[in-house]
């Protein structure tokens, strides 16, 4: 039963519950118009404490396509937060007006606090460098759609694995499916946090940490690229030194399997060359559309209207 639940962490829902969302997303993909009035009279609040274009648009488009309405703010300076209001008080107030809340926050764990004070479902739309569970729903829906399975895959994650919350969420969620292996490709400075590898080791899941994409690209079913995010660095010098280290181009793609797919949470800032956009293995823009369908299915399930 997903009605009334929060989604803070990609593992909050069991694989069976995720399948329920994905099955419903598949139905929406088949005939979107059929669901145009599913959320009539419901209100989604989008509380974005840091800038976001894609995720916010994706949520808003998802709710509007379900017939619902949207209220919210896209930067904290235009809200009561600028006056120093706590997350707890903001949530208790917003929950009086909205049926479901989406929150992005620069501080890790802020959506969990929100859930502790909210009588309506809270969805984590990204908290600092920590987790981004609806991106994970998007990623898993894309993989399921293309590969027709979520098991037995070799998943390569490349780029900024330290601050890349989408990667942390994907590893956490995909590690629950049988036989998946992870290849973590990054410079030493941007390796995944210890808690991620500690989790994999504790579950006995195969993973390797490498520094060169060329050496491993031929072994991958999925290549998940990430951008090096300037806003996650404490100083400019580190950012400039590391931002262009891992660039995927046509030359590297020649080393990859014919059925490998390239994914990216977007936006990209140079880590994927434009010369591979027309490669049939490039899935990052289709992935963005899957994201909207995944969020439509999620909203409907949490509101209990599917």
Partner 1 sequence: MLTITSIKNGIVIDHIRAGLGIRMFYQLGLDKADYSVALIMNAASTRLGRKDIIKIENNVDFDVTMLALIDPNVTINVIEDEHIVRKVKPELPDRVEDVIKCKNPRCVTSVEKYVPHVFTLVNRELGQYRCQYCDEIYTVGKD
**What residue ranges bind partner 1 (CB under 8 A)?**
86-88, 105-110, 112-113, 127-130, 193-195, 198, 202
Report the nearest approach of partner 1 to the CB of residue 71 (Å): 23
| Joined tokens for residue 156 | 């390569």
**65 versus 130: smaller Cβ distance to partner 1:** 130
Give the 3-state secondary structure of residue 5.
coil
> Are β-strands 181-185 and 207-210 bridged in parallel, bridged antiparallel, or unpaired?
parallel
Report the nearest approach of partner 1 to the CB of residue 225 (Å): 23
Residue 105 β-bridge partners? 127
Report the nearest approach of partner 1 to the CB of residue 76 (Å): 12
Report the nearest approach of partner 1 to the CB of residue 256 (Å): 32
CA-based angle 291:184:109, to the nearest 5?
55
Q: What is the separation of C-alpha 20 from the centre of its chain, rounded to a whole number of angstroms?
A: 18
Residue 73 β-bridge partners? 47
Q: How many CB atoms lie within 10 A of CB 218?
A: 12
**84 versus 280: smaller Cβ distance to partner 1:** 84
Q: How many CB atoms lie within 10 A of CB 153?
A: 17
**107 versus 289: smaller Cβ distance to partner 1:** 107
Report the nearest approach of partner 1 to the CB of residue 46 (Å): 19
**3 versus 107: smaller Cβ distance to partner 1:** 107
**87 versus 140: smaller Cβ distance to partner 1:** 87
Instruction: Give dist(CA 120, CA 114) in Å, integer.
Output: 10
Q: Do residues 187 and 151 touch, judged by C-beta distance below 8 A? A: no
């Amino acid at each position: 039963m997903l009605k009334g639940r929060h989604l803070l962490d990609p593992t909050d829902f069991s694989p069976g519950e995720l399948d329920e969302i994905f099955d419903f997303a598949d139905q929406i993909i088949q005939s979107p118009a059929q669901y145009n009035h599913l959320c009539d009279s419901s209100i989604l609040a989008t509380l974005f404490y840091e800038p976001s274009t894609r995720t916010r648009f994706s949520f808003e488009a998802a709710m509007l396509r379900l017939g619902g309405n949207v209220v919210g703010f896209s930067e904290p300076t235009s809200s009561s937060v600028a006056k120093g209001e706590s997350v707890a008080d903001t949530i208790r107030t917003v929950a009086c007006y909205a049926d479901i809340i989406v929150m992005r926050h620069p501080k890790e764990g802020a959506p969990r606090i929100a859930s502790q004070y909210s009588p309506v479902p809270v969805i984590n739309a990204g908290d600092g460098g920590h987790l981004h569970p609806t991106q994970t729903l998007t990623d898993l829906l894309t993989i399921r759609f293309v590969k027709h399975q979520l098991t037995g895959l070799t998943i390569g994650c490349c780029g900024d694995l330290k601050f890349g919350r989408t990667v942390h969420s994907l590893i956490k969620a995909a590690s629950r499916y049988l036989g998946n292996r992870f290849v973590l490709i990054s410079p030493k400075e941007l390796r995944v946090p210890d808690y991620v590898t500690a989790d994999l080791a504790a579950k006995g899941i195969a993973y390797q940490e490498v520094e060169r994409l060329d050496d491993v690209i031929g072994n991958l079913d999925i290549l998940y690229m990430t951008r090096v995010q300037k806003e996650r660095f404490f100083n400019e010098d580190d950012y400039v030194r590391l931002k262009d280290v891992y660039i995927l181009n046509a030359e590297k793609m020649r080393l990859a399997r014919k059925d490998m797919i390239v994914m990216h949470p977007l936006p990209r800032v140079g880590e994927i060359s434009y010369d591979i956009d027309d490669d049939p293995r490039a899935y990052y823009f289709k992935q963005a559309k899957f994201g909207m369908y995944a969020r439509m299915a999620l909203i409907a399930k949490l509101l209990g209207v599917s």
